[in-house]
């Protein structure tokens, strides 16, 4: 095992395009770190810098106490699993897994032991003589992971390894990757744009946006106390309801200037009367659409009024202006076109500065 530490790491491409804007990060021995964010946020670029596949413009990449900026990828003692598996189509599963070890001059008996042990762990022993074209997507991904395991690296790097799999298989492989990482007790850094994948896999969650880190923490901490409106809307599905407060409305909550109020859909309940919890928020809504997904129901409502010194409009770029989502248990839901009131207690509200960068306690 080895820790991975990034110190003020930057990546600037020709023309002054800054892809990574000074990131500091520490991943301890045996921890599973997930980099999550939208396409183009820089997460894969950052991973490739750790791997040595991208040069570091400035700052330091430290693996196991050794700065590796100028060290070749093959000498960093890492193993990488790619989105497209990167298997040799003309080789058997066995030879795909053994190829890197042969190139390093490892004795045949040790290669055989490592390959067969990895195959047993991944339950692909009966497939060792098959070619990649004879395997399913999930089996190919297992082979790609097996090729990484046999190297017994200090650090595993995963670049969106489940993106090519169907939804059901993604869930199964997600569980398999986490089980495998815990069994091997190896440090791992994993890139994904899927926030559910990120939440379920991570010990350390790193939310990225436009080449910067928005927040680092354990998944529940990031979910329950988002540091910015970007994190609040990216982590969680459906996204957090975000509405702007005028200076007067913000002042009623003890804040100077404008502010943004957030409440998660699952923290809203339907009110049978006109009362709003003290310090809470209330929304009068016209039901526009309903999504029943079995165990729960999503109600999409258009705001028709506000009963407190609270939200007046949605934060641009998140939900459509004036729309509020309510997440209800079960399948009971109001009819489309009906009027409802949704309320949330003060303890469930999130308050941010007008620029969305600073979080206030409710």
Q: What is the pLDDT of residue 280?
A: 86
Q: Could you tell me which of 248, 354, 242 has the C-alpha nearest to residue 309?
A: 248
Same domain assignment for residues 189 and 265: no
Same domain assignment for residues 273 and 332: yes
Q: What is the pLDDT of residue 275?
A: 74
Which backbone phi and psi does 73 adopt, to 5 degrees? Answer: -50, -40
Same domain assignment for residues 124 and 182: yes
Same domain assignment for residues 306 and 206: no
- HSE, CB side, 13 Å, CA atoms: give it for residue 39: 1
Same domain assignment for residues 146 and 22: yes
Burial group, residue 10, by CB count within 10 angstroms (0-12, 13-18, 19+): middle
Q: How far apart are the first and last CA of the chain?
A: 41
Integer Cα distance of 88 and 195 in angstroms: 31
CB 232 within 8 A of CB 351: no
Report in angstroms the alpha-carbon separations of 97 from 72, 102, 110, 114.
21, 10, 13, 9
> Which residues touch 251 (CB under 8 Å, ≥6 apart)?
none
* Structural domain boundaries enclosing 204: 4-229
From 194, 229, 264, give the residue that closes a domain. Answer: 229
From 229, 258, 291, give the residue that closes a domain. Answer: 229
Same domain assignment for residues 206 and 239: no
Count CB atoms within 10 A of the CB of residue 121. 18
- What does the H/E/C string look like for 3-18? CEEEEEEEEEECCCEE
Q: What is the pLDDT of residue 361?
A: 57
From 229, 254, 280, give the residue that closes a domain. Answer: 229
Same domain assignment for residues 19 and 96: yes
Same domain assignment for residues 217 and 264: no
Same domain assignment for residues 156 and 178: yes
Count CB atoms within 10 A of the CB of residue 79. 23
Q: Per-residue confidence of the chain (362 residues) as pLDDT tens digits? A: 699 999 999 999 999 999 999 999 999 999 999 999 999 999 999 999 999 999 999 999 999 999 999 999 989 999 999 888 889 999 999 999 999 999 989 999 999 999 999 999 888 999 999 999 999 988 998 999 999 999 999 999 999 988 888 888 888 888 889 988 888 889 999 999 998 899 999 999 999 999 999 999 999 999 999 999 999 999 998 999 999 887 877 777 777 777 899 999 999 999 876 677 788 888 999 999 999 988 999 999 998 754 443 433 333 334 556 799 999 999 877 899 999 999 999 899 999 988 888 766 55
CA 85 to chain centre: 21
Same domain assignment for residues 187 and 202: yes
Integer Cα distance of 327 and 267 in angstroms: 8
Supply the pTM of this predicted model.
0.89
Report in angstroms the alpha-carbon separations of 171 from 140, 185, 196.
16, 21, 10
Q: What is the pLDDT of residue 314?
A: 35
Structure tokens at 104: 């390093």
Q: What is the pLDDT of residue 311?
A: 39
- CATH code at 248? 2.40.50.140
Integer Cα distance of 25 and 6 in angstroms: 5
Report in angstroms the alpha-carbon separations of 84 from 87, 88, 148.
8, 11, 14
- CATH code at 24? 3.40.50.300
Relative to beta strand 339-344, strand 269-270 is: antiparallel
Report in angstroms the alpha-carbon separations of 5 from 155, 183, 189, 209, 252.
12, 23, 11, 20, 44
Same domain assignment for residues 199 and 246: no
Number of domains forming the structure of the chain: 2
> Which residues touch 51 (CB under 8 Å, ≥6 apart)?
73, 76, 78, 80, 157
Q: Which residues of 311-343 are buried (b: 16+ CB within 10 A; e: fewer)?
A: beebbeebbeebbbbbbbeeeebbeeeeebbbb
Same domain assignment for residues 200 and 261: no
């Amino acid at each position: 095992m080895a820790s991975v530490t990034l110190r003020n790491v930057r990546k600037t491409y020709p023309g002054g395009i800054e892809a990574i804007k000074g990131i500091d990060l520490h991943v301890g021995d045996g921890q599973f770190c997930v980099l999550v964010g939208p396409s183009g946020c820089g997460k894969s670029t950052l991973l490739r810098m750790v791997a040595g596949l991208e040069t570091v413009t400035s700052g330091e990449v430290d693996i196991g106490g050794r700065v590796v900026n100028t060290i070749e990828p093959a000498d960093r003692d890492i193993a990488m699993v790619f989105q497209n598996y990167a298997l040799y189509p003309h080789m058997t599963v066995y030879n795909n897994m053994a190829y890197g070890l042969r190139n390093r001059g490892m004795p045949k008996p040790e290669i055989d032991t490592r390959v067969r042990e990895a195959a047993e762990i991944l339950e692909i022993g009966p497939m060792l003589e098959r070619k990649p074209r004879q395997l399913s997507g999930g089996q190919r991904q297992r082979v790609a992971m097996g090729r990484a395991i046999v190297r017994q690296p200090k650090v595993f790097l995963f670049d969106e390894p489940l993106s090519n799999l169907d939804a059901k298989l993604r869930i199964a492989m997600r569980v398999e990757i986490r089980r495998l990482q815990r069994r091997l007790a190896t440090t791992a850094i994993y890139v994904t744009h899927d926030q559910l994948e990120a939440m379920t896999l991570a010990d350390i969650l790193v939310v990225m946006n436009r080449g910067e880190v928005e927040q680092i923490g354990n998944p529940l901490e990031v979910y329950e106390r988002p540091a910015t409106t970007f994190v609040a809307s990216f982590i969680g599905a459906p996204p957090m309801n975000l509405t702007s407060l005028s200076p007067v409305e913000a002042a009623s909550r003890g804040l100077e200037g404008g502010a943004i109020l957030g409440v998660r859909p699952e923290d809203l309940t339907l009110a049978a009367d006109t009362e709003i919890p003290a310090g809470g928020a209330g929304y009068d809504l016209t039901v526009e659409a309903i999504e029943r997904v079995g165990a729960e129901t999503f109600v999409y409502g258009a705001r028709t009024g506000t009963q407190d010194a609270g939200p007046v409009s949605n934060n641009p770029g998140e939900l459509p202006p004036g729309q509020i989502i309510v997440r209800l248990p079960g399948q009971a839901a109001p009819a489309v076109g009906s009027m409802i009131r949704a309320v949330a207690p003060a303890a469930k509200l999130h308050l941010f500065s007008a620029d969305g960068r600073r979080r206030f306690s409710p």
